[in-house]
Amino acid sequence: MKPKKKKLWHRIKQDRFAYYFILPTLLAMLFLHLSPIVQGVYMSFLKLNQFTLQQYLLAPFIGADNFYKVLIDPHSPIRIGLFEAVRNTVIYTIIVTIGTLAIGMVVALMLNRKFFARPLVRTLFLFPWIVPTYVTGLLWGIIWLKQGGLVNVMLADWLKIIPFKPSWLSGPNTIWAIIIPTIWRYWPLSMLMLLAGLQTIPDELYEAADIDGASPWRKFWMITWPMLRPVWFILILFGLIYNTYSFNIVIMMFGFGAGYPGEWGDLMMTNIFRNSFQLWNFGTGAATSVLLLIVMVAIVNVWFTYFKKSEDLR
């Protein structure tokens, strides 16, 4: 039988001196995190635009009207393109998360083997992660140019794979123009964490599998995959959060907000940024942010619950 867990109050009382030490930090973190959230939620109930901006939190209270404009009103400026942004964000988040994990896993398995100049190769592989995100956006914005861009020059002029030079920064290709740079930017982080996880797996497990005649694929599924479950959990969770709130790369590729990413390039954060700071709809922008926050909290809770249940079944 599992020992009964002590109640929260009893655990706090037992370790009260430890809690005394962390209390100042805890209060500071609560203030830094909760005050902006509370302020953002309150702003979502205000008529806050270019005419009432000077009043700020004293702007007229309009109840749930901002949420109505975001979700229901077909003539609302912020609702125009919102569902396309939601669609793009879902596609973008799923593909980028899977892509970074897949590439990171393959490279981590390669770097887990001993070979000449492994430390140098590992350092070079971290280069995309070292580059700031705004530089990544500017760099790939140039690479994707229709005329003179490196991608079209390579595919159409050098390799002759395609007969014409497509436009990557407009139309349906835009979604791939923002997905690929993001994968390029973030896969080294997945590789680094997975490599650290691989190095904690005892060699004896693989030696026993070799004695049993297990194939490399069998060893991966029966040893490597289960032993890396905690790392996968963290990476998927971080990927879902970071990619849903992705902003810098896309905004820099399209002129720091001066350009509209288009129907297939607009994400939730760029949509909120454009409607809040270019159309001056701060109230509806705050309402959209609150709705996105609620969705993400639900997703994170579902993911934590799923992982806890799967761990309990092991």
The pLDDT value given to residue 93: 96
The pLDDT value given to residue 73: 86
The pLDDT value given to residue 263: 87
Over the stretch 144-162, which tens digit does the pLDDT of each residue have? 998 889 999 998 888 888 8
In three state form, how does the secondary structure of 62-75 look? CCCHHHHHHHCCCC
Over the stretch 160-191, which tens digit does the pLDDT of each residue have? 888 888 889 888 999 999 999 999 999 999 99
Distance CA 196, CA 108 (A): 9
Q: Is 165 exposed, middle or buried (0-12, 13-18, 19+ CB in 10 A)?
A: middle
Residue stretches of the chain with pLDDT short of 50? 1
Using alpha carbons, select from 154, 172, 92, 144 the residue that is nearest to residue 252: 144
The pLDDT value given to residue 57: 87
Neighbours of 270 (CB within 10 A): 22
Distance CA 63, CA 33 (A): 24
The pLDDT value given to residue 4: 58
The pLDDT value given to residue 46: 94
pTM over 0.85: yes
The pLDDT value given to residue 295: 95
Residue 25 in tokens: 């930090």
The pLDDT value given to residue 2: 52
Distance CA 264, CA 143 (A): 18
Neighbours of 84 (CB within 10 A): 16
The pLDDT value given to residue 26: 87
Task: Please name every residue paired with 61 in a beta bridge, in sequence order, or none if there are none.
Answer: 46
Supply φ then ψ for residue 61, to 5 degrees.
Answer: -85, 125
Ordered alpha helix ranges (H), 58-117 = 65-71, 82-111
The pLDDT value given to residue 239: 94
Q: Is 160 exposed, middle or buried (0-12, 13-18, 19+ CB in 10 A)?
A: exposed
Q: What angle do CA 70, 75, 81 make, to 5 degrees?
A: 60
Q: Which domains does the chain have, with CATH numbers?
A: 59-313 (1.10.3720.10)
Instruction: Look up tokens 């509806």; give the residue.
Output: 284
Distance CA 258, CA 5 (A): 56
